[in-house]
């Protein structure tokens, strides 16, 4: 098992990466109170819930659970209220620990519930998808979607620990694996081009589920995210670079209806669009752009936007992005190999050219 620390002073926490962590509950129990409430979904519960509940109950802890409906379309305030109702009905107090057993939707909602319940209780992340393991489970961003924008209602609330179990990936559908690799590719593009080059060499093994390669990819992704979060916990500066491709991608998700495109799929085409705009601005070479496209294609992610989505559709949804300030659209763009920036200093004509190049 490998361990990475997210360095946030007295709120620092570990990320454990290994196999069979689910039943190795002695360590997990160290990060939980005597009142544990597991939040999962109807897809994950039949696979892993019983093992987790059995392991935790051997320590004499109070353990209850809720299995939410699966999918991004359920990442709402209404679903969140069902978590609160169960916590109250089962008399959980301020010493409760919530465990998020699931992908990014479960993790985001569990974290937000923990941030709000009795004004804040602790929680532990047990991400079951590659995307959640390398991105959403680390860093303390929690929240739910609104019909007008993704993740517009939420809070920063750091977990007590993150347990990343490679065994979860053995039941992960191929489409979900590809979606997770979008976020992995992102880290190479924004922060570590040598990692990007490693991904170019090893993408076939990653797609085949090679555990050694997946372990390294997860570890390096978490190291990069932990480093960025430690520098900028609440996204006042450098942390915003983690949103490469997300402004374009969130527009796709919102326009198509949450859940019709997976988050990683939307981020994949979003990164291609961001790279295209970066090329038009003269900030990256055509070589970097073509390699970016090729790697995203190798991960079997989309290289085109949804049929019928117009440039105006993109602009409408991009206008409510959280990175925008004072009515000014800000984007994460590439600025060389393994370098990125958050900027509103791009040519509007170039943005329009990018949008029209990708819209049908």
Tell me, yes or no, if 293 is annotated catalytic: no
User: How many residues in the chain?
Assistant: 360
pLDDT at 231 over 80: yes
Active-site pick, 41, 145, 151, 243: 243
Residue 92's SS3 state is coil
What the chain holds in terms of domains, given with CATH numbers, is 2-171 (3.40.50.1970), 174-358 (1.20.1090.10)
pLDDT at site 151: 86
Tell me, yes or no, if 157 is annotated catalytic: no
The DSSP code sequence of 316-347 is HHHTT-TT-BTTB--EEEE-STT-EEEES-S-
Ordered alpha helix ranges (H), the chain: 25-29, 50-57, 77-89, 104-116, 130-131, 174-190, 193-207, 211-231, 246-256, 263-280, 286-298, 311-318, 348-358
Share of the chain above pLDDT 90, in %: 86
Tell me, yes or no, if 280 is annotated catalytic: no
Tell me, yes or no, if 360 is annotated catalytic: no
- pTM exceeds cut of 0.85: yes
CA 176 – CA 221 distance, rounded (Å): 17
Look over the chain and give the mean of its residue pLDDT values, rounded to a whole number.
Answer: 94
CA 183 – CA 287 distance, rounded (Å): 21
> Mean pLDDT, to the nearest integer, of 195-217?
97
Q: Regarding predicted confidence, which is higher, 18 or 327?
A: 18
pLDDT at site 258: 81
Active-site pick, 233, 235, 265, 281: 235
Of 75, 72, 82, 73, which is closest to residue 144 (Cα–Cα)?
75
328, burial (CB in 10 Å: exposed 0-12, middle 13-18, buried 19+): exposed
343 phi and psi angles, rounded to 5 deg: -150, 150
In Å, how far are 127, 218, 269, 298, 307 from 293, measured between CA atoms? 28, 21, 9, 9, 19
Tell me, yes or no, if 146 is annotated catalytic: no
Active-site pick, 75, 160, 220, 225: 225
pLDDT tens column, 141-190 = 999 998 887 888 999 999 999 999 999 999 999 999 999 999 999 999 99
Q: Residue 259 has which token pair?
A: 């859940």
Tell me, yes or no, if 239 is annotated catalytic: yes
pLDDT tens column, 65-113 = 999 999 988 999 999 999 999 999 999 999 999 999 999 999 999 999 9
Active-site pick, 246, 280, 291, 322: 246
Active-site pick, 263, 280, 322, 330: 263
> Mean pLDDT, to the nearest integer, of 232-238?
91
CA 242 – CA 70 distance, rounded (Å): 25
Q: Do 130 and 181 meet the contact criterion of CB atoms below 8 Å apart?
A: yes
pLDDT tens column, 8-60 = 999 999 999 999 888 766 689 899 999 999 999 999 999 999 999 998 998 88
Of 142, 211, 224, 123, which is closest to residue 183 (Cα–Cα)?
224
Active-site pick, 30, 78, 89, 119: 119
pLDDT at site 360: 73
């Amino acid at each position: 098992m490998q361990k990475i620390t997210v360095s946030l002073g007295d709120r620092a926490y570990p990320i454990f990466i290994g196999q069979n962590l689910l039943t190795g509950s002695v360590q997990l129990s160290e990060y939980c109170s005597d009142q544990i409430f597991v939040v999962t979904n109807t897809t994950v519960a039949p696979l892993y819930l019983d093992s987790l509940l059995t392991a935790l109950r051997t320590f004499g802890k109070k353990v209850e659970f809720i299995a939410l409906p699966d999918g991004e379309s359920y990442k709402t305030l209404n679903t969140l209220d069902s978590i609160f109702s169960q916590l109250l009905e089962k008399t959980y107090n301020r010493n409760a620990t919530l465990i998020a057993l699931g992908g990014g939707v479960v993790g985001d909602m569990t974290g937000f519930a923990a941030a709000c319940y009795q004004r804040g209780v602790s929680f532990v992340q047990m991400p079951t998808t590659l995307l959640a393991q390398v991105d959403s489970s680390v860093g303390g961003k929690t929240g739910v979607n609104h019909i007008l924008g993704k993740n517009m209602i939420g809070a920063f609330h750091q977990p007590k620990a993150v347990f990343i179990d490679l065994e979860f990936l053995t039941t992960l559908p191929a489409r979900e694996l590809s979606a997770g690799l979008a976020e992995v590719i992102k880290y190479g593009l924004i922060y570590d081009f040598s990692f990007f080059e490693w991904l170019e060499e090893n993408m076939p093994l990653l797609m085949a589920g090679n555990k050694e390669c997946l372990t390294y990819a997860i570890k390096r992704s978490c190291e990069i995210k932990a480093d960025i979060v430690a520098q900028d916990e609440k996204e006042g500066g450098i942390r915003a670079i983690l949103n490469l491709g997300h402004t374009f991608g969130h527009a796709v998700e919102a326009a198509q209806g949450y859940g019709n495109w997976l988050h990683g799929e939307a981020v994949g085409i979003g990164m291609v669009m961001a790279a295209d705009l970066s090329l038009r601005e003269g900030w990256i070479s055509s070589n970097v752009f073509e390699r970016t496209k090729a790697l995203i294609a190798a991960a079997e992610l989309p290289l085109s936007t949804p049929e019928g989505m117009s440039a105006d559709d993109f602009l409408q949804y991009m206008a409510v992005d959280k990175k925008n300030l004072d009515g000014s659209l800000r984007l994460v763009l590439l600025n060389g190999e393994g370098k990125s920036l958050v900027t509103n200093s791009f040519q509007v004509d170039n943005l329009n050219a990018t949008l029209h190049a990708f819209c049908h």
